[in-house]
Structure 1
Amino acid sequence: MEELWGRKVLLDEIHSAVVEQQAIRQLPTMQEEKQHVRCLRCGQFHLKRAVRLPNQHYFCPDCLQLSRVSSDQCFYHLPEPFPTKRAVFFGWEGTLTTGQQTVSDELLASVQHFESRMIWAVTGAGKTEMLFQSIHYSLEAGYRIAVASPRVDVCLELFPRIQAVFPEESSILLHGKMEEPYRYTKLVVCTTHQLLRFYEAFDVLIIDEVDAFPFVNNAMLDYGAKQAVKPQSSLIYLTATPTKGLLSLTKQNQLQTSILPARYHRRQLPVPKTKWCPNWRQKVQEGHCPRQLMRLTKELIKNNDVLIFCPSIHLMERLEEILRKKFPETTLAAVHSQDPARLEKVMAMRKKAYRILLTSTILERGVTFDGISVIVFGANHDVFATAALVQIAGRVDRRKTYTAGEVWFLHNGLTTAIKSAIKQIKKMNLLAKERGLLDEV
């Protein structure tokens, strides 16, 4: 029966023997209206005539990736058990900075009072470490807690870090490609899509990178997150680049917010520099390397490895061919979301196997490399929104050891996104200085 606690799943997603238990609740899958039908797994509305099946029932096309749900089925559910206090081993021996401790304490207070909160912390601020105190409190209180992220990569990185701090706690990692069968645990790390299978399960739900695709502006995933928590619970949002919606809630005093404008190593965020690069797209398409990119890469590679962000996979692949000829003695590679060797290449970059790594926006967040500088090639392209540029700039100088890494935006026209990203980074540096959170380099 444990596998149904706090879950809302279809018959083919559970063991058939469990269904025979009398206490199990059956919940409807669809809510019918005159012309529309609403899926009660993902919350989306559809015209009846558009989603009618031959048997006159209805299905939901929006959450098909989780398996098809139709109106002739039902969800199986058992309420989450009442919390029971217990002792939980806490295996973290690190220390927080003054800024981190303040945020950690504010987060704990929100969890204790079942309040929602946004943690607005700059990239590389050590957000994960600031969660440990609240996770420990929650587990000892008998609460069920989930840490969710829109991206599998982030979940894969978070899970072992959290496991290491709570080594005696049963935990599970849930994502679309997992091979391990589902089992009940008090501590869950999952993608935000997996929240659609939970119902009033969590006392505390922490969503990392709420501004990231596919969670941002996604009504389905927002619905899933809100139905996954108990009526009395804490919903915590983590971000380095908050959305307008979250900022609006903060201004209206509808969402408590903690701001951490400095990294743990007490150095200011690297402020991106801009460089005019005319006809960058045309030159690459014609098989030429723009002079500005060539000179800048040669200069930066003297001190650090170089991460070059490209606005499209096609352009990145052309640029890779060009740079291999220009840098014949230099180890380099290119990676994107559809690359079957993506994880291996990222790991190789971490191990210093490459001096230059070209990438799509897939590496804009959730990864840390030692000793790198960053170039955003074609920074004025539409794909580089303000949040993306702030996140990309945040790849530099994340470690304790200072490496003088630089961030460069190569463009042929300053966009609002470029200006806003630089303005936001400078604003955080100023706020950090005012709070006494920075040391001179």
Structure 2
Amino acid sequence: MQELWGRKVLKREIETIKNIEKKSQKLLTMQEVSEKTIQCLRCGQIHSKNTVQLVTEHYYCPKCIQLGRVDTSQKFYYLPEPTPVKRTVHFAWDGTLTDGQQAVSDDLLASIKNHESRMIWAVTGAGKTEMLFKTIHYSLECGYRVAIASPRVDVCLELFPRIHAVFPEEPAILLHGKMEECYRYTKLLVCTTHQLLRFFHAFDVLIIDEVDAFPFVGNQLLQYGVKQAIKKNSSLVYLTATPTKELTKKTDKNELKTSILPARYHRRILPVPKIKWCHQWYKKIKKGNTPKALVAIIHSLVIKNDVLIFCPSISLMEQLKGAVEKKFPEVALACVHSQDPERLEKVLKMRNKEYRILMTSTILERGVTFDGVSVIVLGANHPVFATSALVQIAGRVDRRMDYTAGEVWFLHDGCTKAMKEAIKQIKKMNTLGIERGLIDDM
């Protein structure tokens, strides 16, 4: 019955459990809000009864149907999380934190001990994961249940082996929509934020990584899932390099404690994007041509580093690939996007230096690290490149200890507020890092 601890699931999801009717609690799947509306108790969304009524006269929820249809003829099966029991947990990390990282780690641990929530606002490449280790270890030894959730599957896939390596004897599970492994109860798990919709009062400590990322940001459904997944006396931790306005307002009002780390562990400034005018870049690529400004910058960058080129659309990227191949016939290159079945293989090949140029959609804006890369944002003035996206993209450069003189370029034909704000944020963090003595002179 451990599979039901801290979970509320439909009967068809747990058919292998014997005597389920006698041993578990039953919870409503939906409840009436008014005479005309009904609310799903898995995702929290409220619907007009007229739009979600079935021929059986029951009501269903279309918003979270990808997790299996919920309707009023069903019940959720649930068992409460057992009382935490202190234990010994093997901790296999022998690394050291910088002074800045240590201060954040100490702040976070203090919040967990006081059952408080906290935001960690740390620049890209600051080593957020390493700052979590001490807190996760303490929590597990207290008998707490700990989850690290991210909106992006790619981030979860990269994060899980790193967490598992630090706690090699601790049973852990990775949950996402395409997983083949059957669910099992563990005290430590990594999951996508969608998977939190299956949990109920489960976690003593819930860490949301990339809290500003799509699809979590502004998503009421996923934020309802977070509130349902944590216990009443718990700690919610937000990790971000680009906090949302909602979170910064809470910080300003002292409603949310916040730790800011404005510098990376290698004590160098964040690369500040350079702006380059690229006349009618969209029209030129659509005609099968490569803009001269783009060709010139690729020539200058590829001498020292591999190059990531971020494109505003998949169709444009595929057209650009053919044009760039004509200009650089001897350079190994590829393009990748969220619907690419070879996405993971291409990312690995880029890491292994089998490609010198990788064109990508915003799928690689966060959660991935490459050695020795420079970045070009083609059409940085396109609406798809919001301020947070541009900051994250710029953060792909100079993440390792060895310096490779990587550069960031914004190519545009009309500078936007998002571009200016991204550069302003990066410069602000550099200034703050210097003021705190966390950055060395270059």
Structure 1-normalised TM-score? 0.99
Q: Check 1:27–1:375 CA distance in 2 against 1; reply closer, same or farther (3 A cut).
A: same
Query: Which residue number in structure 1 is paired with residue 221 of structure 2?
Result: 220
Task: Structure 2: state its 5+ residue gaps.
Answer: none
Aligned counterpart, 1:372: 373
Amino acid at match of 1:222: Q
Shift of 1:19: 4.3
- Give the AA of the match of 1:300: L
Q: Residue 275 of structure 2 aligns to which amino acid in structure 1? A: T
Tell me how far 1:20 sits from its aligned partner: 3.2
- 2:93 corresponding residue in structure 1: 92
Q: Which amino acid aligns with 2:440?
A: D
Q: 1:180 aligns to what?
A: 181
How far apart are residue 440 of structure 1 and its match? 1.9
SS at match of 2:61: coil
For residues 126 and 374 of structure 1, the distance between their equivalents in structure 2, rounded to whole angstroms, comes to 20
For residues 33-432 of structure 1, the aligned pairs below 5 Å read 33-432=34-433
Q: 1:250 to 1:18 in 2, by over 3 A?
A: farther
What amino acid is the match of 2:393? Answer: I
Structure 1 distance, partners of 2:348, 2:18, is: 42
RMSD: 0.7
User: 1:364-385 CA deviation, whole Å, 9 max, x = no partner?
Assistant: 0011000000000000000000
Partner SS state of residue 438, structure 1:
coil
Measure the CA separation in 1 of the matches of 2:168 and 2:78: 29
Aligned to 1:27: 27
- Kindly provide the amino acid, as one letter, of the partner of residue 306 in structure 1: V
**Structure 1: which amino acid aligns with 2:396?**
R
Pair 34,95 (structure 1): closer, same or farther in 2 beyond 3 Å: same
Looking at structure 1, the residues matched to 266 and 332 of structure 2 have their Cα atoms a distance apart, in angstroms, of 30
Compute the displacement of 1:21 (Å): 5.9
SS of 1:431 mapped into structure 2 = helix
What is the aligned residue count? 441
SS at match of 2:424: helix
Match of 2:370, SS state, is coil
Q: Distance in 1 between matches of 2:166 and 2:15?
A: 32
Q: Any runs of at least 4 consecutive aligned residues in structure 1 with deviations exceeding 2 A, and if so which?
A: 15-23
Give the corresponding residue for 2:11.
11
Q: Which amino acid aligns with 1:100?
A: Q
Q: In structure 2, what is the Cα distance between the partners aligned to 1:229 and 1:22?
A: 26
What is the alpha-carbon distance in structure 2 between the residues aligned to residue 145 and residue 311 of structure 1?
37
Separation of aligned partners in 1, 2:412 and 2:13: 50
C-alpha separation between the residues in 2 aligned to 1:262 and 1:184? 37
SS in 1 for 2:143: coil
- Tell me the SS of whatever aligns to 2:423: helix
Distance 2:145 2:224 in 1: 19
CA distance in 1, matches of 2:143, 2:93: 20
What stretches of structure 1 of length at least 5 have no aligned partner? none
Secondary structure (helix, strand or coil) at the match of 1:103 reads helix
Q: Which amino acid aligns with 2:160?
A: F
What is the alpha-carbon distance in structure 1 between the residues aligned to residue 319 and residue 153 of structure 2? 28
Secondary structure of the 1:17 match is coil
Classify the secondary structure of the residue corresponding to 1:22: helix
Cα drift, residue 393 of structure 1: 0.1
Q: 3-state SS of the aligned residue for 2:8?
A: coil
CA offset digits 1:85-140 (Å, max 9, x no partner): 00001000000000000000000001111100000000000000000000000000
Write the distance in 1 (CA, Å) between the matches of 2:374 and 2:249. Answer: 34
Question: Deviations for 1:63-103, whole angstroms, at most 9, x for unmatched residues?
Answer: 01100000110000000000000000100000000000000
Cα deviation for residue 439 of structure 1 reads 1.0
1:275 Cα deviation (Å)?
0.4
Q: Residue 119 of structure 2 aligns to which amino acid in structure 1?
A: M
Distance of 2:15 and 2:403 partners within structure 1? 53
CA distance in 2, matches of 1:172, 1:289: 46
Pairwise CA distance, 1:36: 0.6
Code of the residue aligned with 2:45 in structure 1: it is Q
Identity of aligned residues (%): 69
Matches of 2:400 and 2:133, distance apart in 1: 20
In structure 1, C-alpha distance between the alignment counterparts of 2:198 and 2:25, rounded to whole Å: 15
Distance in 2 (CA, whole Å) between partners of 1:380 and 1:207 is: 29
2: CA distance between counterparts of 1:270 and 1:41? 43
User: How many Å separate the matches in 2 of 1:370 and 1:36?
Assistant: 53
Give the drift of 1:16.
Answer: 4.2
Find the aligned partners of 1:20 and 1:219 in 2 and give their Cα distance. 32
Deviation at 1:18, TM superposition (A): 3.8
State how far apart, in whole Å, the 1-side matches of 2:278 and 2:217 are: 31
Rounded to whole Å, the distance in 1 between the matches of 2:299 and 2:57 is: 65
Q: CA deviation at 1:288?
A: 1.1
Q: Secondary structure at the match of 1:292?
A: helix
Return the alpha-carbon distance in structure 2 between the equivalents of residues 160 and 389 of structure 1.
27
